[in-house]
Amino acid sequence: MSFLPVFNVQTFGAFGDGVHDDTGAIQDAMNAVPPFNPIGSIPAGGIVYFPEGNYLISQPLLRQQPNTACIGAGKDATVITLNQPTWSGAPSPADPSRSYMLDLSDLSNTDCTVTDLTLNGRATDGPSTSLSKTQCGILISSRNVISRVNLYDIWGYGLWIFGPNAQWARVLDCEAWLGSNPQASSGYGPGNDCIGGGGTRTLIERFHWASNMAKNTALDFQSGGGPDAEVSVDIIDCINESAKHVALEGAVQSSIRGCRFYYNQLKVKTNPGGNYIVNPLDILVEGCMFIGPSGNESGLVVNFDGGNYAAEVQTVQGGRVAVIGNTFIDCDGSAIEWAGDDESTSLGGSIISNNRIFNPNQTGGQEAVVVEGIFAPLGTLFGSGISVLTTYGLTIQGNTIVDQSGDMLYSMQLSTPGTITDHNTARILVQGNLCGLAPGVGNGSAGTFYYISTSPTSDNPSPILLNNTNQEQGLDSSSVVASGTPWPGPGGYPYNAFICVDPNGANIQSIKIGGQLTDMVSGSFYVPVGQTFTVTWIGAINPIIKVFQS
């Protein structure tokens, strides 16, 4: 058994007092980590140890060998601080477009570890350079592990996971605070996501984005393009309390499980990479909680684009996205926004199932979804529990949608704006959903369930609706129909209905279905399509009558 040698940065002359510049001493410790020695098969690597202290640095720290572990005494005890007045922003040898506080001199330096410390970028002190990309946190390559690290007040990327050179990277039990968003102003350049890049089989677990984290996004992974491009990630048990979104662009074989998103969106969407369109494929969103609005878009966005543009040579089709068992509370815009076009939209296997949606807010912000021939915002489409735009091959089942605030436009809305041909909203199965009250109008009796703006065709048939329960307007009979008047009028209901009658203190005399007298004066009643419903009462107190589409 062999043990990695330990190199204490204070042994090499680092002060850790927050006053002296410790760059040279720490780099000497990094340089002392031995390379692989074929004699005796001694592995490369070592432990660079940072005792408790505040270490000022003015240049990137280069990890020179694989299997280099940078270990502190704890994230509240060891701090590495970027010295704003003297920071040089030297480009990374591995990534010349940026500089990093903890860098890799070569992307072949795999299996590196950073743990138990804080990186302080001092963004609130103001930048020493106009480019945020020269003041980033950690550059990550294959099989790197970043654990128990506090990314504090960093200007550029907190973590950059270097694409195909960052396979099997793991980020565990880390936090992000403060920082800046130079993309919101002029002159500071790109490079400002808290976590950016995207590798293959990345694991991000128990990450906490604090409410005051100020970046362009909390996380933005993008496929590099090409027929074999892959960005895949598992995001597990994370908490995002910031107002910044998590975006997966062109991700495949990924899962987002057990996370909480406060006042922000999770975006699973298309990414154009080079001459290719890379669409979401084999994505699971399960057991998460989405809470809003706090003045910001919130909830889940799934967006496909087939990419039928002349400049694109190939389309990589997407699909098989599963949104299962999530909870959405007070989301701004629709809780679930699902959009695509006729070339690559959830082909055979996507599902929205067993989600609980409470109080989606139609007055909130609107997602600027772009699909072929359509440029958004798309008006009031995104003010529903579930909004689906131009997609096919989708099952929506077992969801509960409740609106207690009165802000929801539709419980569920399936829409075709009409500028796209062929399979716009075809092959959608909607079954076993419990939908709540909403004020919209459409081709349901009160429009609370779904709406399609074009006439069905063989290529674009209406969705298949099975065993759904949909509440109409919350009707107090005193303002809708007089005692003893058949309801809703000649021709009866255009669908099978369940009608609930609450006496509310009223003196109900009789209830009829069609012309047939029932033996009940309250409760729930099944009214077949084409039949009317008649309630007769006496006195000044009126019953409460609610209608559900079946």
pLDDT of residue 421: 44
Contact present, 344 and 386 (Cβ < 8 Å): no
Contact present, 133 and 189 (Cβ < 8 Å): yes
pLDDT of residue 542: 84
pLDDT of residue 450: 54
pLDDT of residue 434: 81
Contact present, 169 and 205 (Cβ < 8 Å): no
Tokens of 116: 């138990």
Tell me the one-letter amino acid at 247.
A
Chain-centroid distance of CA 177 in Å reads 20
Question: Which architecture does CATH list for 243-467?
Answer: 3 Solenoid (2.160)
How far lies 487's CA from each of 445, 479, 481, 525, 530, in Å?
13, 13, 7, 13, 11
Strand order in the sheet with 516-517: 516-517, 507-513, 533-538
Chain-centroid distance of CA 278 in Å reads 17
pLDDT of residue 314: 52
In terms of Cα–Cα distance, which of 16, 84, 8 is closest to 46? 8
> pLDDT in tens for each of the 550 residues of the chain?
357 899 999 999 999 999 999 999 999 999 999 987 666 566 778 999 999 999 999 999 999 999 999 999 999 999 999 998 899 888 899 999 889 999 999 999 999 999 999 999 998 887 655 567 788 999 999 999 999 999 999 988 999 998 888 899 999 999 999 987 665 554 444 568 999 998 899 999 999 999 999 888 999 998 876 655 678 999 999 999 999 999 998 898 999 999 999 999 999 988 876 667 778 889 999 999 999 887 788 899 888 765 554 444 455 567 789 999 999 998 887 899 887 755 545 556 789 999 999 888 765 444 444 433 333 334 344 568 888 876 667 899 999 888 777 667 677 877 654 444 444 445 678 888 887 766 554 434 344 555 554 555 555 566 677 777 765 544 334 445 688 888 777 778 777 777 878 888 889 999 999 889 998 888 888 888 889 889 999 988 888 787 766 6
Q: Where in the chain is the domain with CATH 2.160.20.10?
A: 1-163
pTM: 0.82
How far lies 197's CA from each of 217, 280, 291, 300, in Å?
12, 16, 26, 21
Element (H, E) at 46: strand 46-50
Question: Which architecture does CATH list for 1-163?
Answer: 3 Solenoid (2.160)
Burial of 345 (0-12, 13-18, 19+ CB in 10 A): buried
3-class DSSP state of 124:
helix
Phi, psi of 182 (to 5 degrees): -65, -20
Contact present, 342 and 311 (Cβ < 8 Å): no
Q: For residues 256 and 287, give the distance between their C-alpha atoms in angstroms, rounded to a whole number.
A: 8
pLDDT of residue 274: 61
pLDDT of residue 422: 45
